[in-house]
Amino acid sequence: MNEDLRFSKDIQFHSQLNPKLWSLGKKLNREVLVALRNIADAFVSYLDLPEIDVVDVTLSGSNAAYTYTKYSDLDLHIIVNASEKEKVILRKYVDAKKNLFNEQHNITVKGQPVELYVQFVDDPHTSAGVYSIQRDEWVEEPKRIKASINHLDVKSKLREYIRAINRSVQNQDLESANRLMSKLRKYRKEGLSSTGEFGTANLVFKILRNHGYLDKLSDFKIAQLDKELSLKEE
């Protein structure tokens, strides 16, 4: 990203849903719907949990709203019903399986990457639009909006986090990188709850992700841990 931190391509408002995916009647194109159902089925099979109670599969995020960009994923959520006791056991397992699946596969639909996630029924989830893949209908239909964005605040926070990421990597500081990644995730989660999709926190996180800074931090963490755990030959 250049010095003036332009991010107009990361934040866009459209008058219609992504035409690659949606008809003018705001229904998913049939071939897209079938593809997403097949992807969801493959992922549920990959989880290898015969007793898992899948109550719905939903599409959310920018590609279920009027704010999609060329960077936007197709956020495919497997909605699961589970008791509080079951959730404690399942959460780490399904997250680990999800990460492995997303790392091992590069699945796209109409050129848009698909990102899979297991969401429990009562998990809080913030999205402008939510579409049921199983029922082929809106759970929450998005509205056309023009948000008020604090560009100065976004640029300031971007500079702060870009410098912090670069510093951690350049200094080979794994502890700092771990703290920074945790801080970023907490920052986004709290920001979504308090200021929503177009608040500074979510926009900063998305722009860092879109321009490879989160991958840079994550790749460094993995490489540095491998280095620390390895034993050199004599």
**Residue 234 falls inside a structural domain:** no
Higher pLDDT, 191 or 27: 27
Quick one: 23 and 124 in the same domain?
Answer: yes
pLDDT over 70 for what percent of the chain? 94
Match 């056309």 to its residue by tokens.
144
pLDDT of residue 70: 83
pLDDT of residue 3: 42
Q: What is the CATH number of the domain that holds 24?
A: 3.30.460
Quick one: 158 and 104 in the same domain?
Answer: no
**Residue 145 falls inside a structural domain:** no
Split at pLDDT 50, 70, 90, the class of 8 is low
Quick one: 135 and 51 in the same domain?
Answer: yes
Print the domain residue range for 213: 151-229
Structural domains in the chain (count): 2
Average pLDDT over residues 214-220: 90
**What pTM was computed for the model?**
0.73
Quick one: 175 and 114 in the same domain?
Answer: no
Cα gap 155→6, rounded to integer Å: 8
Which of 140, 166, 201 lies at the terminal end of a domain, its last residue?
A: 140
**Residue 1 falls inside a structural domain:** no
Which of 87, 107, 140 lies at the terminal end of a domain, its last residue?
A: 140
Average pLDDT over residues 206-230: 87
**Residue 173 falls inside a structural domain:** yes
**Residue 2 falls inside a structural domain:** no
**Neighbour tally for 41: CB within 10 Å:** 12
| C-beta contacts of 95-99 below 8 A and 24+ residues apart | 97/46, 97/47, 98/43
Quick one: 115 and 185 in the same domain?
Answer: no
Split at pLDDT 50, 70, 90, the class of 5 is low
